[in-house]
Structure 1
Amino acid sequence: MDFGKILSRIKAILSSPQTEWPVIAAEPDTVGGLFRNYICVVAALPVIAYFIRGNLIGHGGWGMHIHTPLGLGLLGLVLHYLLTLVVVYLVALIVNAFAPSFGGTKDSVQALKTVAYAWTAGWVAGIAIIIPWLGWLVAIAGVIYGIYLLYLGLPHTMRCPPERAGGYTAVIVIIGIVLTWIVGLIMTGIIGTAALTGASMAGLHATRGEGTTATVDADSTLGKTVAVSLSPETLRGFLPEQLDGMKRSDFNAQRSGAMGMQISTAYANYSDGKDRSIKIELADTGNMRGMMAMAGAMAHSSEQESDHGYEKTYTDHDRLVHEAWNSQTKTGEFGVIVASRFSVKASGSGASMDDLKRAVNDMDLDKLSALKDEGVSNR
């Protein structure tokens, strides 16, 4: 398995799809070869990212930080991965079956190529689930771009007339959504049952300390062609020992990577030992900042209010800002995207929105912004 070749294909299909699709269509391949040498690797990226988020980093907000039990997380990882591969194969069968209906030519290998390379955008963007509060938007941006890739690819791989590619794409997208929804129901049912069954044996837990997971060697083939996210130690420098009179109760920082895509994250909890607590989360998306910029462009200004609080998203000094407050529970969160690369979020309970804003702004966002090109090179 040539990881350098896989990375080159990912970069080519995402950056220059108009010229890459004819190359893909002309390549000799097999169903088994596509799965072994590409799909099984790239499709694992969002699955691993979801596992890292839920089990190693944890889900936070509103003054809490929760980790999924390891056994449950591993079950979800395996099930999610296997179902993803099954859905890819099923959608490829559907692409092949509908080819004549849209003036195309049936070819099972070309159909699988179509799905595999069009879905690359969604798989790569799925890594962003690790990013606090904006990760889902990056993932959506990847899915939307994947639909565009599908539209561009069908005339080359399935040989349908370009003017009929739009309808062909729409049918495949609708079917893909239905299959994804079914997979979601299966995942929820099985994982939910396992969670209830094992509730008396395993519970939610928190971790402390700092660690790193897979990284890319700067001297390797991958390391010479990718951007490197900031080290956990660098991120730690932005999280002070004390915050607004509250002591840091725990700290966690790690760098996760797969196929040249790196994301570094760090968080720290602060408490006054009474009712007030704030959690700071910082993430560096490294070479996914292009997806972050696309997600930021998609996130239009919005504002919602209720009897118990409000939530709004807006732009302030070219930075995307999100804030939410629940006046009933006295909990809230305030997040900022810096230089289309860094995500900074403060969430807490017993602290006012002004406290959360001050906590984020005291982190010296200008200094963080100055690091936007750190580790980015084409060596």
Structure 2
Amino acid sequence: MDFSKIFSRIKAILGSPQTEWPTIAAEPASIGGLFRGYICIVAALPVIAQFIKGSLLGYGGMGVHVHTPIGMGVVGLVLHYVLALVVTYVVALIIDALAPTFGGTKNLVQALKTVAYAWTAGWVGGIAVIIPWIGWLVAIASLIYGIYLLYLGLPHTMHCPPEKAGGYTAVTVIAGVVLTWIVALVVGGIIGTAALTGASMSGMHVTDKDGSTVTIDPDSALGKLSAMSSNTARAAKDLENAQKTGDVAAQQAAMGKLMSGDGKTVAVSLSPETLRGFLPDELDGMKRSDFHADRSGAMGMQISSADATYSDGRTRTMQVEVADTGNMRGMMAVASAVTPNTEQQTDHGYQKTYTDHDRLVQETWDTQTMSGEFSVVVANRFTVKASGNAQDIDQLRQVVNDLDLDKLASLKDQGISGR
């Protein structure tokens, strides 16, 4: 196995995709060779990272220790890995089948190349789930970049006209998202696809008796996925045009739209001073200390965050964090729409995700350490989390609810610019 060649390809497709795609399209390959020499290696990276995070490191912080049992984790690792390889091949079949519809040429090997190298961004970025708190944002950003790679690659590998690459990308992304979500449900232990059907597919309606016409409710989860795909394809086209002109400002604006998924850009995320106002000097009888806030940005994505430690000097010590995810708001909206209610019980605690008043909530509790985490997504843009030691999860929930979440939600459109 030539790992140096694999690393060089990863570096090239992520760093200079415009020049790498023609090389990829022209080189000889086979389905077996692509799997053995690249896909089986790179696709394993996020799967291993998930295992390390779930079974070795655990979830939470400030004393929270929720782990997936090693045996169950190994089973999940193997199942996740096998299904990931299957989905890779199935999406390649879809790309191949759709080629004539978008003026391309059917070729399964080229279709598999398209999936393998476009998905490289997501596979490599998936390693970031190990990073506490902010790692999932890196992983999502890498998935968005993977959509851009797909858009750039289709004209070269499948020989579709460039002007049809946007639609081709959108349809492929929807298929890939749905298939990947099914894998997540299976690996997560959710039996059947009822959650997927209820959360993601309920917005689809057949309007003709012969089934030839299908409409999608724009307010449904599937409708939001469709809109996200269209917006992403449009932003990718804007980015390509901006790169041709060399206009740096236009490139940054286009990258912001690409990251957002909803065609709008958060030009400036909330300032550290603004976020500081949501972390008072005293909270539920606890004094604030170790306050920190910052704002940073890269690749068209700007994120602000503030955190502080609160303690009553006796039994309760909590870390409270408020973050503005900026241009990830579009992806956050889709995540909130398609995420089903889930709950995982252990011998000494639980972890569950659910929606409360249109806000995505995740809570974790460990009865042995008497510690946990309560986090909520506000207005599909902001995240608020309290973690640490408490008498029960209700105290962590109360700390989050004591913050002015309605005021935070009222700032959801601050700093946003349209198309």
Tell me the TM-score normalised to structure 1 length. 0.56
**Structure-2 residue corresponding to 1:77:** 77
Closer, same or farther: CA 108–298 of 1 in aligned 2, 3 Å: farther
Per-residue CA deviations over 1:65-86 (Å, capped at 9, x if unaligned) read: 2222110110010000000000
Alpha-carbon distance in structure 2 between the residues aligned to 1:49 and 1:326: 31
Q: Do 1:72 and 1:191's aligned partners in 2 also have CA atoms closer than 8 Å?
A: no
Closer, same or farther: CA 94–331 of 1 in aligned 2, 3 Å: farther
Shift of 1:348: 2.3
1:321 and 2:300 equivalent?
A: no
> Which AA in structure 2 matches 1:59?
Y
**Structure-1 residue corresponding to 2:154:** 154
Which has the higher relative contact order, 1 or 2, with Cα contacts under 8 A spaced 6 or more apart?
1
Q: Do 1:24 and 1:113's aligned partners in 2 also have CA atoms closer than 8 Å?
A: yes
Q: Do 2:46 and 2:123's aligned partners in 1 also have CA atoms closer than 8 Å?
A: yes
Instruction: List gaps (5 residues or longer) in structure 2.
Output: 193-258, 261-265, 285-291, 298-302, 324-384, 397-419
Shift of 1:104: 0.2
> Which AA in structure 1 matches 2:44?
A
Alpha-carbon distance in structure 2 between the residues aligned to 1:65 and 1:145: 32
Shift of 1:322: 4.2
1:144 and 2:144 equivalent?
A: yes
Per-residue CA deviations over 1:226-274 (Å, capped at 9, x if unaligned) read: xxxxxxxxxxxxxxxxxxxxxxxxxxxxxxxxxxxxxxxxxxxxxxxxx
Question: SS in structure 1 opposite 2:188?
Answer: helix
1:349 and 2:328 equivalent?
A: no
Alpha-carbon distance in structure 2 between the residues aligned to 1:115 and 1:77: 21
**Structure-1 residue corresponding to 2:211:** none
> Which AA in structure 1 matches 2:131?
I
Q: Percent identity?
A: 66
Alpha-carbon distance in structure 1 between the residues aligned to 2:4 and 2:185: 36
1:333 and 2:351 equivalent?
A: no
Shift of 1:330: 5.9
Per-residue CA deviations over 1:115-164 (Å, capped at 9, x if unaligned) read: 00000000000000000000100000000000000000000000000000
Closer, same or farther: CA 42–33 of 1 in aligned 2, 3 Å: same
Question: SS in structure 2 opposite 1:189?
Answer: coil
**Structure-2 residue corresponding to 1:270:** none
1:24 and 2:24 equivalent?
A: yes
Structure with the higher helix share, 1 or 2: 2
Shift of 1:167: 0.3
Q: Do 1:63 and 1:331's aligned partners in 2 also have CA atoms closer than 8 Å?
A: no
Alpha-carbon distance in structure 1 between the residues aligned to 2:61 and 2:4: 38
**Structure-2 residue corresponding to 1:189:** 189
Alpha-carbon distance in structure 2 between the residues aligned to 1:30 and 1:130: 33
Mapping of 1:230-245 within 5 angstroms?
Answer: none
**Structure-1 residue corresponding to 2:246:** none
Question: SS in structure 1 opposite 2:189?
Answer: helix
Q: Do 2:308 and 2:321's aligned partners in 1 also have CA atoms closer than 8 Å?
A: no
> Which AA in structure 1 matches 2:105?
T
Instruction: List gaps (5 residues or longer) in structure 1.
Output: 193-293, 338-344, 354-379
**Structure-1 residue corresponding to 2:355:** none
Q: Do 1:25 and 1:156's aligned partners in 2 also have CA atoms closer than 8 Å?
A: yes
> Which AA in structure 1 matches 2:12?
A
Shift of 1:62: 5.3
Question: SS in structure 1 opposite 2:60?
Answer: strand
Per-residue CA deviations over 1:20-47 (Å, capped at 9, x if unaligned) read: 0000000100000000000000000000
Shift of 1:326: 10
Q: Do 2:310 and 2:320's aligned partners in 1 also have CA atoms closer than 8 Å?
A: no
Closer, same or farther: CA 160–132 of 1 in aligned 2, 3 Å: same
Mapping of 1:286-305 within 5 angstroms?
Answer: 300-301=269-270
Alpha-carbon distance in structure 1 between the residues aligned to 2:267 and 2:125: 14
Deviates more, 1:62-71 or 1:109-118: 62-71
Tell me the TM-score normalised to structure 2 length. 0.51
Alpha-carbon distance in structure 1 between the residues aligned to 2:386 and 2:190: 33
**Structure-2 residue corresponding to 1:261:** none
Shift of 1:315: 3.0
Alpha-carbon distance in structure 2 between the residues aligned to 1:299 and 1:314: 15
Q: Do 2:310 and 2:319's aligned partners in 1 also have CA atoms closer than 8 Å?
A: no
Mapping of 1:26-45 within 5 angstroms?
Answer: 26-45=26-45
Mapping of 1:179-218 within 5 angstroms?
Answer: 179-189=179-189
Shift of 1:346: 10
Per-residue CA deviations over 1:304-347 (Å, capped at 9, x if unaligned) read: 98xx99xxx963588942448999x966435699xxxxxxx995
Mapping of 1:218-257 within 5 angstroms?
Answer: none
Deviates more, 1:120-129 or 1:179-188: 179-188
> Which AA in structure 2 matches 1:315?
D
Alpha-carbon distance in structure 2 between the residues aligned to 1:33 and 1:41: 12
Alpha-carbon distance in structure 2 between the residues aligned to 1:83 and 1:324: 41
**Structure-1 residue corresponding to 2:94:** 94
**Structure-2 residue corresponding to 1:106:** 106
Q: Do 1:300 and 1:314's aligned partners in 2 also have CA atoms closer than 8 Å?
A: no
Alpha-carbon distance in structure 2 between the residues aligned to 1:107 and 1:78: 30
Alpha-carbon distance in structure 2 between the residues aligned to 1:97 and 1:324: 53
Q: Do 1:52 and 1:130's aligned partners in 2 also have CA atoms closer than 8 Å?
A: yes
